[in-house]
Amino acid sequence: MSTLDINKMEGEEENKTPDKKQIEAEEKEVMLKTESENNEINAEIKADGEGLVKAALSQEVIEQGREVKPKFIPIGAIKMPGFFTRNSDKPKDDEVIEKDPENEKTEESKPKRNHFQFLHTCPFTKFLHHPTQNDKDDLIVGAVVVLVLLAVLVGVLLGARAGPATERPLRLGRYMTTLSSCGPVEGILEEGVYKFYSIPYAVPPIGDLRFTYAQPLNNISLCWNGTLQNHKPGPLCMQFKENERTIIGEEDCLTLDVVTPHVRYDSRLPVVVLIGAGTLAGGISPAQPSALYARTKEVVFVRPNFRLGPFGFLALDILSKTIYPETSGNYGLSDLLVALRWVKLNIQHFGGDPDSVTLLGHRAGATLAALLTTVPKAQKLYSRAFLSSGSVIFPGKHLKDSYPLNEEFKQNSKCNDAACLRRMKPEAVMTAVPATWLGSDVGSLPKTNEMKHSWLVLDGVYVTRHAFEAWDVQKESKETGKERAFKPMVFGTTAHSGHSDLLRMKHLNWTAEHVESVVNDSVIGDKNLTASVYGHVNRTYSGLVELVSAVRTLCPLVSLARLRLGAPLYVVAGAGAGAAGSRLAGVDADLEAILGTFDSEVVEQRRFMAAMQQLFYYFVWNGRLPGPETGIAEVGQDVLPLHGLPLCDLLIREDIVPRYAHVD
């Protein structure tokens, strides 16, 4: 506004009220002051050259090279006179601003300097005030990239959720249904886990299929319609109990149990296949799935039934002649192979990982599991093996050399052909087994020239050469890098695996004379080694059991694991590992600790359980032991390295070990 305009306005003051005159006087002063300050600010901006942000703070905006003047506020558009109007030059947020078409000026206050200086060089701020065509193109490209990334992210999330549900729904709050290769199966929720009992995995080996190798359920006519309910445990395979007289089980028995904490397809869990038997003739094993440790250790347990005794291992010439090429025996081993194939194909439907399968073998089950590691067809069906108290006596004779040794069974059965054997009642087949084929020598000292019967044979189909030869080939393949066929193996046993109630009850009070008499009557006495072994064990029942265990189980495993395979070995020490009031670690102590069935009544026993579980489940999850990969570990209340076993060194040097190792 010029000075002439101001004088004209002063001439019109005579017709205005005092308040209006006062307001207009204040407006004149403010506008004169603003015009002067704008000139100063423009000079400062040009001198400083600090960019568009500071110009924006001084209320000057540049639009495509044209300067836009501050907008003029007419006198009639401001608030009525009052205290706040008279005492503040700053506009309030709720003031109404109107536009005068003739005068585009506005009230300004002097901007504060040195505030928000970092915004002056911000590329985004420069773009807002000086957008170029390249900047606009870059902005469009950036927006397209962001949209594409968002679309990909949404697609990934939707794809992840497009598969099966994380956990399948329950029927009636307790029944779980999942899939198998032969049809749906339904398990039951118990103890916080899902239990599927007696799932068929092979064709029933009855009738004409008796004494033949296991056949998988690969024909739809062999499967079931609808959903198979697997709520209750099924029968065991027919076998002898530990007393060698009682017969239990059924011939139609090729089923397996699955215990899993989750039935889902994400976060698959390691699988533990339990293979247990007292002997190859029978004996109920403590290798049973644990609901507690399936849940707390996050593993899936599988326990397959497999044939034992004559139904599982009878090798006769009249049976071999019924097929070509001629063969017989090791039917139970074929059962386990088909069971592992079932696990490989189906276990993902039960929350398990088919590429992480651990064989947990115990006693005769450990012998079979060790033999499985030599079968080429089994190499892709498991990941590692944990073998407890197995035998190191494997078949070395050709099948034809085994026929004369089994002639006594043929005489007892009064059969001269395979058809006769297959028509016999199952109980009659069991009673035809010679008494010398039963029992176990794991709890006694060997006699010179003792007779041994081995159920296993070189059948020419599954077992084609001695286990040691197969392991040597696997080791060579591993060392040369040609084939990764040598899977991780861990061997172990207990320091008192020869302990049994039957042995203890031979004398009410075992004296030093009793112990020395037993030792002298054995092969140790025949070799005049009694005095030498007493340098390592004492003349007590505990010392006798330690010697029996060393001869039959521990030292043979040392010779196999440490000297031949270079595999790790553990030994369960006696202190704190035995039953209440006992310091003896029986043959089942390690397995019972792993599965949580060990009697842990005192602190030392609970610490032993924790140490044994840490050893095993670390191996299941990582494929190796927590300590060194080779050597011997002693498991007591802790896991400690064992630097030597001088008693084993003596027995190996004197050719007692592994010659007299126990035979399953």
| pLDDT tens, position by position, 342-373 | 999 999 999 999 999 999 999 999 999 999 99
Q: Distance between CA atoms of 285 and 511, rounded to whole angstroms?
A: 32
Query: Once rounded to an integer, what is the mean pLDDT over residues 562-573?
Result: 90
pLDDT in tens, 227-245: 999 999 999 999 999 888 8
**130 pLDDT tier (thresholds 50, 70, 90):** low
pLDDT in tens, 251-291: 999 999 999 999 999 999 999 999 999 999 999 999 999 99
Query: Tokens in use for 324?
Result: 């070509």
pLDDT over 50 at 105, yes or no = no
Chain centre to alpha carbon of residue 345: 17
Query: Tokens in use for 326?
Result: 């001629």
pLDDT in tens, 297-341: 999 999 999 999 999 999 999 999 999 889 999 999 999 999 999
What is the per-residue burial (b if ≥16 Cβ within 10 Å, else e) of 326-353? ebbbbbbbbbbbbbbbbbbebbbbbbbb
Mean of the per-residue pLDDT values of the chain: 83
Q: Which residues contact 560 (CB under 8 A, 6 or more apart)?
A: 392, 491, 658
**6 pLDDT tier (thresholds 50, 70, 90):** very low
**151 pLDDT tier (thresholds 50, 70, 90):** confident
Q: Per-residue DSSP letters for 220-275? A: GGGS-SS-EE--S--PPBSEE-TTSS-EE-BS---EEEEEES---SSS-EEEEEEE
Q: Per-domain residue ranges for the chain? A: 3-122, 163-404+437-487, 507-664
Nearest Cα to Cα of residue 489 among 475, 508, 503:
475
Residue 640 CA: distances (Å) to CA of 186, 387, 516, 604: 44, 19, 32, 15
Q: Distance between CA atoms of 542 and 227, rounded to whole angstroms?
A: 54
Q: Which residues contact 601 (CB under 8 A, 6 or more apart)?
A: 580
Q: Distance between CA atoms of 155 and 149, rounded to whole angstroms?
A: 10
Q: Distance between CA atoms of 55 and 130, rounded to whole angstroms?
A: 13
* C-alpha dihedral (154, 158, 159, 161), degrees to nearest 10: 140
Bridge-partner residues for 635, per DSSP? 572, 639
**Extended strands (E) in 23-82:** 61-63, 66-68
pLDDT over 60 at 15, yes or no = no
Query: Once rounded to an integer, what is the mean pLDDT over residues 538-551?
Result: 96
- The pTM for the full model equals 0.76
pLDDT over 60 at 99, yes or no = no
Q: Distance between CA atoms of 64 and 656, rounded to whole angstroms?
A: 103
Three-state secondary structure along 4-19? HHHHHHHHCHHHCCHH
Query: Tokens in use for 336?
Result: 């386990």
Measured in residues, the chain has a length of 664
pLDDT in tens, 177-235: 999 999 999 999 999 999 999 999 999 999 999 999 999 999 899 999 999 999 999 99
CATH of 163-404+437-487, picked from 3.40.50.2300, 3.40.50.1820, 3.30.70.20, 3.30.465.10, is 3.40.50.1820
pLDDT over 70 at 162, yes or no = no
Report yes or no: 200 and 217 within 8 Å, Cβ to Cβ: yes
Nearest Cα to Cα of residue 390 among 246, 242, 560, 534:
560
Q: What is the pLDDT of residue 78?
A: 44
Higher pLDDT, 538 or 46: 538
pLDDT in tens, 431-489: 999 999 998 899 999 998 888 889 999 999 999 999 999 998 888 876 676 655 578 99
**385 pLDDT tier (thresholds 50, 70, 90):** very high
Q: Is the peptide bond before 111 cis (omega within 30 degrees of 0)?
A: no
Q: What is the pLDDT of residue 68?
A: 47
